[in-house]
Each structure stands twice: as C-alpha cells, then as structure tokens.
Amino acid sequence: MFIDEAAIFVRSGKGGDGFVHFHREKYVNRGGPDGGDGGRGADVILEVKPTLNTLVDFRYQRKFVAPAGVNGGPDNMTGRSAQDLIIPVPPGTVIYDADSGELLGDLVKPGQQLVVCKGGRGGRGNTHFKSSRNQAPHTAEKGEPAEERNLRLELKLIADVGIVGVPNAGKSSFLAAVTNAKPKIAPYPFTTLEPNLGVVELDMHTTLVLADIPGLIEGAHQGVGLGDSFLRHIQRTRVLIHMLDGMAEDPLADYSQINAELALFDPQLAKKPVVVAFNKMDLPEVQERWPDIQKILKKRGVSEFFAISAMTRENLNALLWKCAELLQTAPEVEAPAELPVYRVEEDPKAFEIRRTDDGGYRVTGAAIERAAAMTFWEFEGSVRRFQRLIEALGIEDRLREMGIENGDTVYIGEDYELEWQD
C-alpha cells in the first residue's frame, strides 16, 4: 500500500534524576556526598532507510516515545544514558512541525538523520553541590524534562524519470512494458490511484528509475481530480516523459493543459528536460495522425519526441536511451524552495506573570518552568536553590510589585503550585 502522508507524535526521553547519598564506610567518619548523576534521555531521530518507499508503517503506529535515562546511584555512579529512538523513513521524506507549520528537514540520502526531539540531560547528584559552606548538601537535580511535538510527514518519490500525462494515456502500460512493475491497467480514466516506481536496465552500466504519476487534469494544481497530492512526486525527478494519448480528441490540447498545470504547481517543473511520447501507434488511426502531430510539435519548439506503442513496444528503447542521454546533463534536484517558518528567538530567561481566577499568580517561562521540573521539592536544599533562581530572574521583585501577600498561591507553569511566604 502506498501512503505518502502521515501524522505522528514523538516524545524524547526524560533525563535520569540525580541522586542524594553520602559515603558510608567503616572507620570513615562523616563521609562526604557521593550521589551520582542521572543518564541522558534518548533523542528521537528520523533516519533514511533506502529500502522503504512508502509511509504506510505510520498508519499502524502514530506515537513514538523514547526511553528515559537511568537515575544516578551511590558511590558517584552515573545512570546509564538511554539508547536513541531511530525511526526509519523512506528517501524523499519532508518533515514539518504540525502545530507551527515549520519545515524541520528534508531527508533524501541513505542514512541521513534528523533529530526531531532532544533527550533531556541527566540531573546532577549531590556531589556537585558540595561547598565550603555546605559540606553535606541534601540537594540534587531531577532529570531535564522530555521534548514532544506533533509531526507531519510528506513523501516525495525520488526517481530519474517521471511519466506524466492525462488519464488513460498509457503511462502504466508503458511502465509495465519496460520494467518489472505491476501497475493496474484498464481502459478507463484514473486506473492508477497511486504513484508506481519501476527500474529499467538498458545495459550493464545504465539503469533508470521511472515513476508513473496518476493522470492529471485541469485544476490538478488546486487538488482537482487526483490533484496536487501526486504532483509533488514529480519535483524529485530530473527528466519527464510527457505521454500523449494518440486516441484522444485533441492530444496537443492535453499537452498544453498538463504543461500549464505543472508550471502552476511549481515553476521549476517547466524547466525540466522533457521527452514527448505519442502513444498507441499500434492503431491505424493513430498512425494517420502522427505526421500532423509531429509538424505541430516542431512548430512549438519541441525537439525531443517519439512515436511509440506500449502495446507492441515500438520505439520504447529509443525513448529510454534518449532519457538516459538527457540525464547526463540534467541538473541535480535542488533542495525544496520552501523555507522554514521564521520565529523570533525567545529569551530563555524571560517570564510572564498573570493573575488567575482564584486570585493567585501564574508564572510562565522556559527557564523557570524547566527549573521547577528539575527540583526535588522534598529536599530543603533543592527548594532553597529554586528560591534563589526566582530572585535571580527578577520574578520575586515582579510579584511584590503586583501586590503578592503571604498565603497567596503561585503557579509555576501548569504543573506546580506553591504558597508564598516572606
């Protein structure tokens, strides 16, 4: 089953918690802190697997959660870092942040990777908080929280040659004749409902990958018919075969219409090398039309054209060798013209305070929310450290300006509730 769009949820691994512990050994009085650090949480990584050509696996699994790092232990034992979660994707996968629309990456080459969620770092054990003033710190950090995001994946097939044309022009018959592909073939429009790939070996040193694109009609760039969901697969090709239906009422009108749709979808498509194939030459009435069609194509400046029959295989080798010749000078496929969504860089120390309906104060901001998530609230030393951060960021001064009083509730993000005490 060919699937070229998918929506998935990914979450990285939380960092392991730091450990609070003190050295205990016979004849060693008042052993110092020896709590180890937590391990790093796993990243979520998308990686190109060349044997894949569809996103169908994401129909059955849409949620991917990476493992957390292991907590630290006594004797300065650092917790084990989690193994990164590798998600295989086919070549040609474009990744977007589903919520912001941001373009995150375009994976093309085998083995190419993209980190979409970074694992949290491990929290520090109490060994790190020893000082001349505090020889026995009951303080540690929890692991850094995980990242999560919703992703939208789009697949753009990667092929040397794309076969385009109106429905029922004979594109699938051509692909079946020159490759081992088995596309559905029938004498009615829109038989092909999904792109098909095939490989043809012209000789020991010349191989072409062909992509049969479902038939295009007027308005395809706006989603009419089988629409723009298939037009993007042509963007990855370097040469086009424009298949004309020799039995069509006006093959040249079809030719002009398809060219217009390609240009409207992506102006770069109009610049690709094109070979015109006038199909169904096994029929006498098509043979009679060919001289006039040939003359008009020449007048329109078309230099590469062939009269073929997918049924009898007439001129197919000549057509394919011409494609191979054009590939020698055809430009490589460039990165997509799409640009990432611009986002103003936020100050990680910035915060915002607003009053809540119950008369409390809600504090939000990257640094303060991250610190709250990494605080061991059961340890007095950790709480004092959090209080010093509130002072350093200017949150305490701002709360006083807003008129906070003893007993008022302070919310940190959505998960933590504190009571204010002077």
Tell me the pLDDT tens digit for each residue of 84-137. 999 999 888 989 999 988 889 888 888 999 999 999 999 999 999 888 888 888
According to the model, what pLDDT value does residue 339 have? 43
Mean pLDDT of 242-257: 91
Residue 347 within a domain: no
Q: How confident is the model at residue 252 (pLDDT cuts 50, 70, 90)?
A: very high
- Contact of 58 with 24, CB cutoff 8 Å: no
Q: Which residue bears the tokens 């000549």?
A: 318
Q: How confident is the model at residue 259 (pLDDT cuts 50, 70, 90)?
A: confident
Question: Is residue 40 predicted with pLDDT exceeding 90?
Answer: yes
- Round the average pLDDT of the chain to a whole number and report it: 84
Of 132, 155, 178, the residue that ends a domain is 155
Say how many residues make up the chain: 422
Question: Is residue 176 predicted with pLDDT exceeding 90?
Answer: no
According to the model, what pLDDT value does residue 192 have? 39
CA distance 44 to 393: 31
Could you tell me the CATH number of the domain that includes residue 37? Answer: 2.70.210.12
Task: Kindly report which listed range (31-35, 244-248, 302-306, 340-344) carries the lowest average pLDDT score.
Answer: 340-344
Question: Is residue 361 predicted with pLDDT exceeding 90?
Answer: yes
Looking at the structure, tell me whether residues 93 and 138 fall in a common domain. Answer: yes
Looking at the structure, tell me whether residues 395 and 323 fall in a common domain. Answer: no
According to the model, what pLDDT value does residue 189 have? 36
Looking at the structure, tell me whether residues 4 and 61 fall in a common domain. Answer: yes
Mean pLDDT of 393-422: 91
Mean pLDDT of 13-19: 95
Residue 341 within a domain: no
Radius of gyration of the chain (CA): 32
CA distance 349 to 367: 5
Looking at the structure, tell me whether residues 232 and 323 fall in a common domain. Answer: yes
Query: Residues 196-235: pLDDT tens digits?
Result: 777 788 887 788 888 887 755 444 334 444 445 567 777 7
Domain region containing 266: 161-327
pTM over 0.95: no
According to the model, what pLDDT value does residue 194 have? 58
Looking at the structure, tell me whether residues 292 and 413 fall in a common domain. Answer: no
In total, how many domains does the chain have? Answer: 3
Question: Is residue 327 predicted with pLDDT exceeding 60?
Answer: yes
Looking at the structure, tell me whether residues 241 and 257 fall in a common domain. Answer: yes
